[in-house]
């Protein structure tokens, strides 16, 4: 099976100007920063990209813009999931017209569904799309969790190519990888679990950390995929504190605050997201100072 990507895919932020409009000039700089630092894929309008507060027109504009700037240098994965199968399908078809190479599709949230409903949901999407589907399982946000047995069923569909797994149960993840028998690529959805996830068979990570440390995250993920477990674990341990502090508030609030302090983009959000507390701003400043030796080694966007 051909993989959509291996290594580190960045769940890229959506930068806003002070009037809360999308800042395309900054977005272009962030894309170039990622590619210059060996990021293996760019994921647009995921959770970290604040897709839930963007209009359909804005999301399609971001997809189109990203495709034009990336120019096929790395895969463009578009966040097109929702809790409505028909809406997800409509959005995904439009994303393909914009240049999407694959879709990141979250499990239905709020209304949720059963495991059988999940299979029907994803099979309907995969049946009607030309580009591959990557399932996004994030039970802490959706109240919905995919079982290993359901992954096994999903793996039988030729157009369902991967899973972003943000459940923290490593035993469940290992069982899922085992049951799918290399018919489905798994990616860690947690930056503090990259080494352990790769050790049980994941093909890399969909990363928040990569917004500020793309080269390091790429090297760490690739080492894990290549079976260099000791090297990957040492790198994981090295950035553990930073990875965890980037979740001191609701994602993507901390990483955008970090990027603001690094002069990469503003810390502007759309409600209901808001700027973090002064206490967290100081905490983030302290951890960025601690990791300055790594941050300064990246080919930072100007």
Among all residues, which ones are annotated catalytic? 136, 164
DSSP string computed for 94-116: HHHHHT-SEEEEEPP-SS---HH
Residue (of 107, 111, 108, 94) closest to 136 by Cα position: 107
Helices (H), the chain: 24-36, 56-70, 85-98, 115-127, 139-142, 148-154, 170-180, 194-199, 214-225, 229-245, 253-261, 278-290, 292-295
CA-based torsion, 249, 200, 77, 7: positive or negative: positive
91 with 82: CB under 8 angstroms? yes
191 with 246: CB under 8 angstroms? yes
Element (DSSP H or E) covering residue 10: strand 7-11
Separation between Cα atoms, residue 7 and residue 104, nearest integer Å:
16
């Amino acid at each position: 099976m051909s993989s959509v990507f291996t290594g580190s895919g960045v769940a890229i932020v959506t930068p806003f100007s002070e009037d809360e409009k999308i800042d395309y000039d900054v977005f272009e700089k962030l894309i170039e920063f990622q590619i210059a630092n060996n990021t293996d894929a760019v994921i647009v309008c995921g959770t970290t990209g604040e897709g839930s507060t963007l209009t359909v027109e804005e999301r399609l504009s971001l997809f189109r813009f990203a495709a034009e700037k990336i120019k096929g240098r790395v895969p463009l994965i578009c966040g097109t999931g929702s809790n409505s199968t028909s809406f997800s399908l409509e959005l995904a078809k439009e994303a393909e017209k914009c240049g999407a190479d694959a879709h990141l599709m979250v499990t239905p949230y709020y209304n949720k569904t059963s495991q059988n409903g999940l299979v029907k949901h994803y099979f309907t999407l995969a049946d009607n799309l030309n580009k591959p589907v990557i399932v996004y399982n994030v039970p802490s946000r959706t109240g919905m969790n995919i079982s290993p047995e359901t992954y096994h069923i999903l793996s039988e569909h030729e157009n369902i190519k991967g899973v972003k797994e943000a459940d923290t149960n490593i035993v469940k993840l290992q069982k899922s990888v085992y049951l799918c028998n290399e018919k489905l690529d798994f990616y860690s959805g947690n930056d503090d679990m990259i080494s352990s996830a790769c050790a049980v068979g994941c093909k890399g990570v969909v990363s928040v950390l990569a917004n500020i440390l793309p080269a390091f995250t790429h090297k760490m993920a690739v080492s894990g995929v290549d079976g260099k477990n000791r090297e990957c674990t040492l790198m994981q341990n090295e950035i553990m504190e930073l990875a965890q502090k980037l979740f001191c508030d609701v994602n993507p609030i901390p990483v955008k605050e970090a990027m603001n302090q690094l002069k990469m983009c503003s810390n502007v959000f759309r409600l209901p997201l808001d700027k973090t507390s002064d206490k967290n701003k100081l905490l983030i400043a302290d951890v960025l100072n601690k990791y300055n030796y790594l941050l300064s080694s990246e080919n930072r966007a100007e």
